[in-house]
Structure 1
Amino acid sequence: MNAGSGGGDAAERLRRALAGEDAGAARLLASSGRVFRMGGFDWDLVTGTMAMDAAALDVFDMDPAQYDGRPESLGSRVLPDEARRLDTLVAQALKDGSAEYGAYLRIRRRDGVHQWTHTQGIVHRDADGRPVRIIGVVRDATHELSESAARLGLDEGRRRRAGVVEGTTAALAYARTVQDVIDLLNDSHALEHFGAASLVMGLLDAGRIHLVAEGPEGAFVPGTRFTRVDEPYPMSEVIRTLRPRFIESPRDFAASFPVLWPHISGLGITAAVYLPLIAQARPIGALGLLYSDKTGFSEDERTLLVALGSSIAQSLQRAMLYEQEHDLAEGLQQAMLPRRIPEVPGAQTAVRYRSARLGRDVGGDWYDLIPLPDGRVGAVIGDVQGHDTHAAAVMGQLRIVLRAYAAEGHTPSTVMARASVFLHELDTDRFATCTYAEVDLGTGVVQVVRAGHVDPLIREADGHCRRIPVEGGLPLGLSAEFGRLDYPATTLELDPGQTLMLYTDGLVEKPGADLDEGLQWLSALVRRGPADLQELADHLCDVVADRGGEDDVAILLLRRESATGVPGAGRFRQHVAQSDPEALSSARHMIRAAVRAWGAGERADEIELVADELMTNALMHTDGGAIVTLRILGGSPRRLRVEVEDRSSALPRRREAGEAGVSGRGLLLVDQLSDVWGVESRGSGKCVWCEFTVPA
């Protein structure tokens, strides 16, 4: 046969050996086949027949009596996927002009065992280059691949274990607390990859080892929660010696630690390693890995386990320092906040502060609830710029002065303006945003002032939530610096069952979203939240914690209840300064809201007009300010009384106004509109009063 362009002398000799034409080559091939389980084949591509010698059939575990000389007969031995791959390889070699090919494939022996086999063929072509014959060999490659796989497996095992250490180290970088470290080790795949069944961990505290991770369920040994360093336990030993202890068998464990072994011998532990956790050249604890299906440790395993212990020690030290710093910062923050929130008759309240948990970074967020006379209460929420102890110190001072100004009886606008001046004179570079709301729980009238802060929300009794636009001024400190101390008050009414929500911007700030989107999200969250005020506050904090915000959050919720039993219910009292037009305007708003809230009906306009006239007279004709009081008198019919007090003892005079006069009609107006009026002496001043009969 003409071999054409392929094969050469080696191929021809192999062909002659297989065909029996070269006796020496045939004897060599037969000898090699017996030793190496290798045989030959001659595949005639024209007729499709394949001659195989006895050794080749033995490689395929094929009975010679069952082989009919066709390649398809080997199909029962070659796995389907391998057959398709081999057919593709041979077809490609015949098509692209290759002189030879080779491949590893798996076959199934008669006993069902899979065996690796290698085949190599030499392609013969005719004068025109067409393939006409393949002569080749097949051999058992099981031993060859087993050794290679073992080497590959060893290398892969090393890479895998090194990867576990690297992956665990990377994950530990995100652990902030000691419990985070323990949870990560228990929940990660590190123990599984190392083959450990569980771990135990102890931390060194004042010369004692505190067990913080107990190992498998039922493994806790009574009396070992706290142990001394000099006791005969493995963690004590590695802390004393600062060297790891590898326990390679149950016998080794029993001999080394006879006090501990009887308590854990029933857990199926076959090996263990105890590692000292060393940070900055001093022990901080010990880690134990317990195994249930191995004995002994290779050098690679020992090296990697020691590296793992070092990584865990560094993470634990960071976590312990973080917890110490955070406890210090949180203690400072809590010391600056009110120690308790007073009970407010006629209202339910809930307050929360959630730290962003940034180690020693303490925020300037605060809340406060200030009891005021006559059934009123002041609600404050604020945020000092920055996240450090200086911000917390400024917050504490600002909270105190705000409380003092409010308790002095100043209007909300004045309280905010004076607080801004105080912060500006404090000689600090910090500013603060703040919202102050003064709530009259008897009338439901609320005066809100805002200094660069987010708008409050109102939650209806049915859960619906809406934003309350409040005209605001500059943040505290900045308004005083730029001479813009105007803080206009927004008046609104809080009905029984409605909830006023004050909060800092950490509650609504979301990555990638603007403030309006955050407020819409918060409104939807409140609408779906629980009705109970305390549960709602917890729910808001939990959602923020899950979201992982990077800013502190302060929340103050105030829900108005029925006015029944509220001190001052059915009574409104307001101080109006003589040179404070904003206070006069605010008092007018409050009177209007109170009169309508009390159901004055058709007489509401008359009452407002008379009260405004009495206030104006007091401010124009006396020195100093005035105090206006509205209250509901008992009895039948129901009466509403208006009182305006001033410091002047001069009694008002009723006089006729001239044709062109615009003054002199005040008392005439009072006399015409009210049912009864009069003047009373009040110490150094007087009180002008009038009464109106109103519907029951």
Structure 2
Amino acid sequence: MDDRVAGALSLPEDWPAHPDLSLALNRMGSFDWDLDSGLMHLDRPALDVFDLRPEEYNDRPADLGQRVPEDEGARLDTMLVQALEAGQESYGAYFRCRLRDGSLRWTHTQGFIRRDADGRPRRILGIVRDASQELADSVARQELDEERRRRTSLVQATSAALAHARTVQDVIDVLKNSRGLAHLGAANIVMGLLEAGRIHLVAEGPEGSFVPGTRYTKVDERYPMSEVLRTLTPRFIETPDDFARSYPELWGQISHLGVTSAAYLPLIAQAHPIGALGLLYDDRAVFAGDERNLLVSLSSSIAQSLQRAMLYEQEHDLAEGLQQAMLPRRIPEVPGAQVAVRYRSARLGRDIGGDWYDVIPLPGGRVGAVIGDVQGHDTHAAAVMGQLRIVLRAYAAEGHSPATVMARASVFLQELDTDRFATCIYAEADLTTGVMQMVRAGHMEPLVRDPDGSCHKLFVEGGLPLGLSAEFGSLDYPVSTVELDPGHTLVFYTDGLVELPDTDLDGGMRLLTEMVRNGPQDIRRLADQLCESVDGYGGEDDVAVLLLRRDAVPSPQPGGRLRQHVAQNDPEALSSARHMIRAAVRAWGAGERADEIELTADELITNALLHTDGGAIVTIRILAGGERRLRVDVEDRSSALPRRRDAGDAGVSGRGLMLVDRLADVWGVESRGGGKCVWSEFLIPERFERPGRHEPPAHHELPDRRDRGGRDRGGRDRGGRGGAGRERPGGDGAPREP
């Protein structure tokens, strides 16, 4: 049957075609290279590949030099030698051929090596062909593959960047700053969020493009964002005419921006529209199918990121509102000092912390300053912080000593039945004298900046954090007494200010010290700068800052008071009390009688510690009245009154009340509900006449200031105040030393 069919058909005369014809139709030529003679025959199609006429080639490879550039020829020769020496049967290469008009064309050659019985190469048969179209197609395929990879990479990179966006502004910044939009050629973006049936414009596009009245628009208005949210379908605008025809009102406001096209995409998350995105172009006219698919895919990632950001902001606002509600609404004015407080919330959504500060007015013109941090970063920490701040404030306002305030706060925290502990530092300051009594519960030590800008850490002996001290029965908090001179600034802070990423605690302290040293003199600006620095260093913990600067020393006012508890067998507390008295005497202008006052107070404190059970409470204050008098009170829990007794010639005790009687202008004893108070008063003249340089002060000689009749040297009767041999009302006889 095949024979019949073949016989019935009329075949071409030159069928089957000569191999030269088949090669020529495929833009190929052949060559035959005799290696012994060096002659290379090229057929006519091969000459056409090299753009040579027959008369321009005489079968010598050297004649091809006019068509093959020198560097290409050297590369081909090297490849051929390697193939011959390696015993290969074939070789192939792409090279450039220079045409008659001087242009270059890519060419391909393939050769087959024939060898004799001994393996020596004798002849090479091969082809040459025009490879320009092949390579062009290959480049096009590569570019297409590269474009696909680029678009895939674009979606992946943008999605990865959006995964770290925490706020709506973060999402906008990612889109504006990402290389993806630049690759797509978008000049800028506009974005609107759906809020209560209206579209809130949160990204305005290029500078100067804001259209008045479009900050909030309705979904049914004639705007592209409104349209895509109504239809939930992307809108691609490919010409200015299309833009002007579809949205004439908007186009009339932005036509001067040079927008040539735009893509508006609905932002849909979990099947609910949350907003719309607009991409504005200034050099594009057509959106190909792949580009449209890419933008739709990208809008899905953007919508999910926006939804996360919106939920984050809602939770963060709720948590920050709770935190702010727990902090003091108002910081009271502090006479004699400047105060600045700041709180910077954590940057982790609802993971706020338990940092707090407080400034507490105290009786006698004193002030309490406290800063602390409850363990943890959640709303529970903030709730615990609020309760702890309130009770600590209440304990301080009741007049308890700093150590007692801290101990009671620790017990309270333990009784809350929470697993949280808190670090805290509490300072009670008399700004008239500058004396500050500090208690530290596991918190970081404060800094002090001098008026000249130098800054150093202030050593404050510490105890266990609040809650832990009660749990382990270690409620005896040591009290450190320091003096804050006029112009000095005390810097309290929480650990979020020094615990920074990629920086150890020592490095964080060095950075903080440097910032305080070089910071502005105004403490409010300094507080702002300290909090802002945390963002610069990438800190993510919340931060509380309290700055207190003592002003110039005011004139002593009646009612100023300092108090300290001195426990038995606590030499540090006794030393601290002496330090407090010395500082108060100097600050209140009683320096001329400093030795008398210190010695009298020391005798009264020592008597209380030696002859009673429990410690003593020492209070020093300025009394109101016509005369300026300084009073020292020493309270104890014993109802037994001090009695005079004869020390004898060799006695080592019994002289205490004799010293008190000779040094104090007036002294006495008052019964108290739980014990007694032994007090002494000293007249402080408005102005002393200081003795000469080499003349010792008269009071160093311990002069006898009283006569036996119960009068001071001025002849005034001391009966109303009590004194040696006399008691204040309520006593039962002359005071006697035990």
**TM-score band, normalised by the shorter chain?**
0.7 to 0.9
Corresponding residue of 1:643: 632
What amino acid maps onto 1:643 in structure 2?
Answer: V
Which secondary structure state, in structure 1, belongs to the residue aligned with residue 350 of structure 2?
Answer: coil
Residues 661-680 of structure 1: matches in 2 within 5 Å? Answer: 661-672=651-662, 674=663, 677-679=665-667
What amino acid maps onto 2:289 in structure 1?
Answer: E
The alignment status of 1:156 with 2:156, answered yes or no, reads: no
The alignment status of 1:573 with 2:565, answered yes or no, reads: no
Match of 2:619 among 612, 622, 628: 628
Q: By how many angstroms is 1:316 displaced? A: 0.4
Q: By how many angstroms is 1:380 displaced? A: 0.8
For residues 556-591 of structure 1, the C-alpha deviation after alignment (integer angstroms, 9 at most, x for no partner) is 12222321358679x553265898968766433311
CA contact (8 A) 2:558 2:623 kept: no
For residues 267-326 of structure 1, the C-alpha deviation after alignment (integer angstroms, 9 at most, x for no partner) is 444433221111122111111223333343333323222111111111001000100110
CA contact (8 A) 1:615 1:644 kept: no
Please, which moves more after superposition, 449-458 or 525-534? 525-534
What amino acid maps onto 1:644 in structure 2?
Answer: D
* Distance across 1 between alignment mates of 2:122 and 2:558: 114
Match of 2:443 among 434, 448, 453: 453
Superposition RMSD on alpha carbons, in Å? 3.9
Match of 2:273 among 269, 283, 287: 283
Which secondary structure state, in structure 2, belongs to the residue aligned with residue 386 of structure 1?
Answer: coil
Corresponding residue of 1:20: none
* Distance across 1 between alignment mates of 2:377 and 2:506: 24
Which secondary structure state, in structure 2, belongs to the residue aligned with residue 484 of structure 1?
Answer: coil
Corresponding residue of 2:9: none
Corresponding residue of 1:230: 220
* Distance across 1 between alignment mates of 2:122 and 2:621: 118
Corresponding residue of 1:102: 92
The alignment status of 1:182 with 2:172, answered yes or no, reads: yes
Q: By how many angstroms is 1:369 displaced? A: 1.6
Corresponding residue of 1:5: none
The alignment status of 1:273 with 2:263, answered yes or no, reads: yes
Please, which moves more after superposition, 474-483 or 655-664? 655-664
Match of 2:473 among 480, 483, 502: 483
Residues 534-573 of structure 1: matches in 2 within 5 Å? Answer: 534-564=524-554, 572-573=561-562
* Distance across 2 between alignment mates of 1:506 and 1:102: 68
TM-score, length basis structure 1: 0.85
Corresponding residue of 2:369: 379
Which secondary structure state, in structure 2, belongs to the residue aligned with residue 667 of structure 1?
Answer: helix
**Identical aligned residues as a percent:** 66
* Distance across 2 between alignment mates of 1:467 and 1:75: 84
Q: By how many angstroms is 1:500 displaced? A: 1.6
CA contact (8 A) 1:600 1:695 kept: no
The alignment status of 1:216 with 2:206, answered yes or no, reads: yes
Q: By how many angstroms is 1:548 displaced? A: 2.4
CA contact (8 A) 1:248 1:270 kept: yes
Which secondary structure state, in structure 2, belongs to the residue aligned with residue 387 of structure 1?
Answer: coil
What amino acid maps onto 1:573 in structure 2?
Answer: L
* Distance across 2 between alignment mates of 1:692 and 1:652: 26
CA contact (8 A) 1:409 1:575 kept: no
Corresponding residue of 2:513: 523
* Distance across 2 between alignment mates of 1:605 and 1:597: 14
* Distance across 1 between alignment mates of 2:469 and 2:393: 19
The alignment status of 1:328 with 2:308, answered yes or no, reads: no
Residues 218 and 121 of structure 1: CA distance in aligned 2, closer, same or farther (over 3 Å): farther
Residues 519 and 33 of structure 1: CA distance in aligned 2, closer, same or farther (over 3 Å): same
For residues 640-677 of structure 1, the C-alpha deviation after alignment (integer angstroms, 9 at most, x for no partner) is 844337699999765532356554312321344x3x61
Which secondary structure state, in structure 2, belongs to the residue aligned with residue 416 of structure 1?
Answer: helix
Residues 666 and 382 of structure 1: CA distance in aligned 2, closer, same or farther (over 3 Å): same
What amino acid maps onto 1:629 in structure 2?
Answer: I
Residues 588 and 302 of structure 1: CA distance in aligned 2, closer, same or farther (over 3 Å): same
CA contact (8 A) 1:507 1:553 kept: yes
Residues 76-155 of structure 1: matches in 2 within 5 Å? Answer: 85-107=75-97, 109=99, 113-155=103-145
CA contact (8 A) 2:323 2:382 kept: yes
- 5+ residue gaps in structure 2? 1-13, 691-738
* Distance across 2 between alignment mates of 1:448 and 1:624: 19
Residues 160-559 of structure 1: matches in 2 within 5 Å? Answer: 160-511=150-501, 514-559=504-549
* Distance across 2 between alignment mates of 1:199 and 1:211: 11
Which secondary structure state, in structure 2, belongs to the residue aligned with residue 260 of structure 1?
Answer: helix
Corresponding residue of 1:3: none
CA contact (8 A) 1:234 1:245 kept: yes
Residues 29 and 372 of structure 1: CA distance in aligned 2, closer, same or farther (over 3 Å): same
State the number of aligned residues: 668
Corresponding residue of 1:8: none
CA contact (8 A) 2:661 2:667 kept: no
Please, which moves more after superposition, 311-320 or 580-589? 580-589
* Distance across 2 between alignment mates of 1:287 and 1:122: 62
What amino acid maps onto 2:296 in structure 1?
Answer: V
What amino acid maps onto 2:126 in structure 1?
Answer: G
Residues 337 and 680 of structure 1: CA distance in aligned 2, closer, same or farther (over 3 Å): same
- 5+ residue gaps in structure 1? 1-23
CA contact (8 A) 1:411 1:583 kept: no
Corresponding residue of 1:17: none
Please, which moves more after superposition, 332-341 or 511-520? 511-520
Q: By how many angstroms is 1:521 displaced? A: 3.9
Q: By how many angstroms is 1:188 displaced? A: 0.3
Which secondary structure state, in structure 2, belongs to the residue aligned with residue 509 of structure 1?
Answer: coil
